Amino acid sequence: MHGFEGAGWVRGATLVVACFLATPADAAQESLTVDEVVARASAYVEVYVKELTTVVMEEDYRQSHFRRGRVNPTRTRLRSEFLLVRLGEGAAWTGFRDVFEANGQRVRDRQDRLASLFLDDTTTAVARARRIVEESSRYNLGTTSRTFNIPTYALSYLLPANTARFRFEQDGVGCGDDHPTAWNIRYEEIVTPTLTRGFQNISLPSNGRFCIDPDAGTVFETEIELHHPSVGREVPATEAVAEVMFALNPNVGLWVPTEMRERYSERRGGRTTSTARYGNYRKFSVSTSENTNPDAAR
């Protein structure tokens, strides 16, 4: 913080004026602690998980891969059915991506294939859906395996069972022009093994930011930063960042993801940038039980 000793009287005058202009809401927010705001966000996310039990949407995913030593990137545009499913009581979300169009070329018919799995046979739906995800992942650019490119991934950090794993601190007020009174709260994962794992199941501590309404606990923005260390010659050191913006959707009555931005940078290697936009939300509820035995899906 920069200080100017000769301007002390100006700061004092400003504080006096601020006292007269402060509203009761401002005073209430000033009296809140970070722990209280995080607790409100945690309660919000706990309810949000239940309301977002099963949501299907469409994803427009644009990727650019920059190889080392080359000026022009390789680009791709994928359009997919994207399904968010909660697997079991107390669990967060699992995301399933099913590409139906790649670079303007139709890959398959748009038929809500993933959603129909869970409506038809929930006991084998997870294993079958994961096969579809593996099939769709071949369209991704770059060499980095992506495990947290699910727009609601960071919200799971705020679940009551997980908040104790993190250190939180306030980092200013305001998230863009739309949320001037929201709190920016930075977090750092301090417990191992971590929630996110890397190559050979190594722990990857997360840090990042939440933009939270201090009164209602609504989460407007999330950010995750991860560092994957190098592992021999197989895996280069990689920095990854994912940012997600949320907006109120009248169709489902929830603050849903509208845009996700990702960056992956390999040390002494290439980098990949991506932007995913979401729309056409549809909500339905099913009871799911995870069955990961591949033979059960045959």
Q: Does a structural domain hold residue 187?
A: yes
Share the mean pLDDT of the chain. 78
Q: Does a structural domain hold residue 193?
A: yes
Q: Does a structural domain hold residue 83?
A: yes
DSSP category for residue 104:
T
Q: Does a structural domain hold residue 26?
A: no
C-beta of residue 179 within 8 angstroms of C-beta of residue 195: no
Mean per-residue pLDDT for 260-276?
88
Predicted local distance difference test score (pLDDT) of residue 240: 92
Supply the range of the domain harboring residue 112. Answer: 34-297
Q: Does a structural domain hold residue 276?
A: yes
Looking at the chain, the whole-number percentage of residues with pLDDT higher than 90 is 40
What contacts 269, CB < 8 A, 6 or more positions away? 68, 143, 236
Q: Is beta strand 54-66 parallel, antiparallel or unpaired with respect to 74-86?
A: antiparallel
How far apart are the C-alpha atoms of 139 and 275, rounded to whole Å? 15
Confidence band (pLDDT; 50, 70, 90) for 111? low
Looking at the chain, the whole-number percentage of residues with pLDDT higher than 70 is 70
Predicted local distance difference test score (pLDDT) of residue 67: 80
Mean per-residue pLDDT for 8-32?
44
- Whole-prediction pTM: 0.79
Q: Does a structural domain hold residue 23?
A: no
Q: Does a structural domain hold residue 283?
A: yes
Confidence band (pLDDT; 50, 70, 90) for 91? low
Q: Alpha carbon of 12 to those of 1, 9, 16, 24, 172: distances in Å?
A: 17, 5, 6, 21, 21
How far apart are the C-alpha atoms of 120 and 219, rounded to whole Å? 33
Residue 291 has pLDDT above 50, yes or no: no
What contacts 59, CB < 8 A, 6 or more positions away? 78, 79, 80, 81, 82, 97, 276, 277, 278
Mean per-residue pLDDT for 222-243?
88
Strands in the chain per DSSP E:
54-66, 74-86, 93-102, 105-106, 166-175, 179-189, 207-212, 219-228, 238-249, 254-266, 271-283
DSSP category for residue 6:
G
Q: Does a structural domain hold residue 247?
A: yes
Predicted local distance difference test score (pLDDT) of residue 233: 74
* pLDDT tens for each residue of 33-64: 999 999 999 999 999 987 877 788 899 999 99
Residue 3 has pLDDT above 60, yes or no: no
Domain count within the chain: 1
